[in-house]
């Protein structure tokens, strides 16, 4: 388990170094995610210790968002005055994304039909 904690932190570290040194705009941890995915594809299976680490930590994702999210209390006035643009923007673009993405997948996979719901 400890070795996987080291590997995960190492991947993040390499990602952040790469982002800083090469001036990449992509967040370092996202580069780390790609590196870990490549490592897993290379190994060809999922080590039990890594799976346990991921399951344990990912179960309470919301908890880690809280410190950043609480900052919204400092921006309540902003969210209040811009609630209409925010909600309208979300509903329209989500409708398009849900509908069009669904249609693309559905029409391109039609040949090998799966049972419909």
Partner 1 sequence: MYDAIKGLQAYLAASQLAWLFITLVAYLIGCWVYQRARQHQLANPMLVALLLIGAMLWLTQVDYQNYFDGAQFLHFLLGPVTVLLAVPLYKTLQRVRQSALPLAVALPTGSLLAALPALGIASWLGASDGVMRALAAKSVTTPIALGITESLGGLTAITAVVVVFTGVLSVIISGLVFRLFRVHSAQAQGFALGLTAHGIGIGRAAQINETAAAFAGVAMGFNGLMTALWAPLLVPWIVGS
Site for partner 1 in 72-91 (CB under 8 A): 72-75, 78-79, 82, 84-91
Are the beta carbons of 51 and 76 closer than 8 angstroms? Answer: no
User: What's the min distance (Å) between Cβ of 87 and partner 1?
Assistant: 7
Tokens 């249609």, residue located:
103
Burial label, 24 (beta-carbon count in 10 A; 0-12, 13-18, 19+)? middle
User: What's the min distance (Å) between Cβ of 97 and partner 1?
Assistant: 4
The span from the CA of 92 to the CA of 90, in Å, is: 6
| 1 touches partner 1 (CB under 8 A) | no
Site for partner 1 in 33-62 (CB under 8 A): 33-37, 40-41, 46, 50-51, 53-54, 57-58, 60-62
């Amino acid at each position: 388990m400890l070795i996987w904690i080291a590997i995960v932190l190492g991947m993040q570290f390499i990602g952040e170094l790469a982002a800083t040194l090469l001036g990449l705009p992509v967040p370092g941890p996202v580069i780390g995610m790609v590196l870990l995915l490549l490592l897993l594809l290379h190994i060809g299976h999922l080590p039990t210790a890594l799976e346990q680490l991921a399951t344990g930590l990912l179960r309470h994702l919301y908890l880690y968002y809280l410190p950043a999210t609480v900052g919204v209390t400092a921006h309540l006035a902003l969210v209040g005055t811009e609630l209409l643009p925010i909600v309208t923007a979300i509903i329209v673009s989500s409708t398009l994304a849900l509908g069009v993405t669904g249609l693309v997948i559905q029409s391109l996979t039609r040949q090998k039909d799966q049972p419909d719901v």
